[in-house]
Structure 1
Amino acid sequence: MKTNDERMQDIVKHLESFQHIKPETIPNIDLYMDQVTTFMDEHLKDTKRYPEDKVLTKTMINNYAKNNLLPPPNKKKYTREHILLLIFIYYFKNLLSFRDIEQLFRPITEKHFNRTEDLPLEDIYKEIFEQEESELSRIKADVLEKYEHAQSAFADKDLDPEDLEYLQLFSWICGLSFDVYMKKQVIEQLIDDLTETAPGKKKK
């Protein structure tokens, strides 16, 4: 059984090893669905929780298209911009509903997907992920701060070491979970505001 100190060290290593998909690694030719799933699985395999998990499947792609998260392919082929959207979907899908993602993506797909007169989707992708390094540093510091706070929990209780270790781990997980829960509430509120201010939609 790992100690909480060892868990913290593993998390720091994981955060420091995080790499997003660089646009230059995406093929310049359109891909068939099988090629898209292979590309995504290869480049995001380190983000999977379990080895048997699938990053992307044909069924997932069809569901994304059905729910208006992803524009339809051109003659069964997917462009670089499709892949960029699929990367965004990959990160959002465990946090938001399809309805929320569709609402969030709508201005992107309408104004920046396969459009030459507006800011290209690839430029938007680069701008977002350029924030990665500073954001990861902030996240690492926050995780460490919550860990140190949890290490002081229950210290005044008469507990055996194993129980104390677990309760401090539980406190740490609760602190991280509350942070995620509240941020999810904020994200959902922002998306709801998007819905209310959409063209043709009257504010309440």
Structure 2
Amino acid sequence: MKNLQELISEMHLNTNMNIEEIPDLDLYMDQVIQLFENKYAPSKRYPEDKILTKTMINNYAKGQLFYPIKNKKYSKNHFLLISLIYQMKGTLTINDVKQTLHLLNSKITEEDFDLQQLYSSYLELTEANTETFKKDVVNHEEEVNQLVSKLQDEDEDYLKQLLLVAVFTNMSNFYRRAAERIVDEIGRKETE
């Protein structure tokens, strides 16, 4: 098995769109897609994977995941919302993402809400979470190594990999379920 630290570094965990990297002028869809492809390319699992497509953006617009664009151009706020959608859609359903962002879209259009400040907070949390994740991975690996060594099996590497996959997917499911509960709470508050 590859060293787990190598695998983590290959994941490019801190690949996020920083506010300074987004132009202050409005962009056409192709420009938005190109910026996403350039930024997130290192985090793709397979080289042929697409980060963002016209179809995806059109579906987000039709599904009202972000407020309407003007003159076929996307503002910096649209870009930030698409970035949040990109991060959430790997775990949540599109309906859950829409529910989560509904009030935020209203705040942006009706209250002139400062999305850049909120997004900066998200980036700070993401950076802290990356460090927590790295420590947790080391802890999980140590626990798995201890447990597998007791089995005294010739396929020790495979058993370690199997348990790590099981543990990581289990933790992922815990976080997904917690996120879904919060989405449900958001939905309940909006219908009150």
1:20 aligned to 2:12? no
Structure 2 match to 1:39: 35
Which among 114, 118, 121 is matched to residue 124 of structure 1? 118
Following superposition, the deviation at residue 61 of structure 1 comes to: 0.3
Separation (CA, whole Å) in 1 of partners of 2:40 and 2:81: 14
Could you state the TM-score of these two structures normalised by the residue count of structure 2?
Answer: 0.93
Could you state the TM-score of these two structures normalised by the residue count of structure 1?
Answer: 0.88
Question: What are the Cα deviations for residues 155-195 of structure 1, in whole angstroms up to 9, with x where unaligned?
Answer: 233421xx111011111111111111111111111111111
Distance 1:181 1:81, change over 3 A: same
**Structure 2: unaligned runs, 5 residues or longer:** none
**1:50-199 alignment, distance < 5 Å:** 50-113=46-109, 115-116=111-112, 118=113, 120-160=114-154, 163-198=155-190
The number of aligned residues is 192
Matched residue SS, 2:87:
helix
Output the amino acid matched with 2:106: E
Distance 1:124 1:94, change over 3 A: same
Output the amino acid matched with 1:22: N
Rg larger for = 1
Separation (CA, whole Å) in 2 of partners of 1:78 and 1:17: 26
Q: Is the contact between residue 12 and residue 42 of structure 2 (CA under 8 Å) also seen in structure 1?
A: no
Larger RCO of the pair (alpha carbons < 8 Å, separation 6+): 2
Distance 1:157 1:127, change over 3 A: closer
Following superposition, the deviation at residue 100 of structure 1 comes to: 0.3
Output the amino acid matched with 1:196: R
Which has more helix, going by share of residues? 2
